[in-house]
């Protein structure tokens, strides 16, 4: 089942369960999906890869908003954001551990024959494609830098 249909079905379940946080979060995700599908140049649909990127972006925005609310001494607003982030994270694949990322990056370096920092762009391109949705780009970049520096 495509992520778009899954979220649409879960909206109905949240309505029946009267789960306001879940309902609001899922409606927001669906709204962003629809905006992406109808954007100029879009083909009218959102595939799962696009959907995962959208959800990841929303999670990151929610976490940043929560941090801002905490700094402004508004813990109730921060908690609201974190509750929504928790719902969104249910739709993301399980993140890779640092060891798994390091192993995957090591394999990519071996495949490409990368030997220096000059090859970082090529390695990063492959790594981001392989681990999309499963690892943070900054964490991947840090591991690539460390492995290529040796």
SS (H, E, C) 67-136: HHHHHCCCHHHHHHHHHHHHHHHCCCCCCCCHHHHHHHHHHHHHHHCCCCHHHHHHHHHHHHHHCCCCCC
State residue 142's pLDDT score.
87
Q: What is the DSSP letter of 74?
A: -
State residue 76's pLDDT score.
94
State residue 128's pLDDT score.
82
State residue 1's pLDDT score.
54
Per-position pLDDT tens, the chain of length 150: 588 889 999 999 999 999 999 999 999 999 999 998 888 877 778 888 788 888 989 999 999 999 999 999 999 999 999 999 999 999 888 878 888 888 888 888 888 887 777 878 888 888 888 887 778 778 888 888 888 777
* pTM, entire model: 0.72
């Amino acid at each position: 089942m495509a992520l778009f249909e899954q979220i649409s079905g879960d909206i109905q379940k949240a309505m029946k369960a009267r789960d306001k946080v879940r309902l609001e979060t899922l409606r927001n995700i669906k709204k962003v999906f629809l905006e992406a599908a109808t954007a100029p140049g879009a083909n009218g649909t959102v595939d799962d890869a696009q959907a995962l990127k959208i959800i990841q972006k929303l999670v990151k925005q929610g976490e940043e908003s929560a941090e801002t609310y905490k700094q402004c001494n508004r813990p109730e607003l921060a908690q609201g954001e974190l509750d929504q982030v928790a719902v969104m994270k249910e739709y993301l694949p399980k993140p890779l551990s640092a060891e798994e990322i390091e192993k995957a990056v090591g394999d990519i370096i071996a495949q490409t024959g990368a030997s220096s920092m000059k090859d970082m762009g090529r390695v990063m391109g492959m790594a981001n494609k392989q681990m999309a949705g499963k690892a943070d780009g900054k964490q991947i970049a840090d591991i690539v830098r460390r492995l290529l520096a040796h």
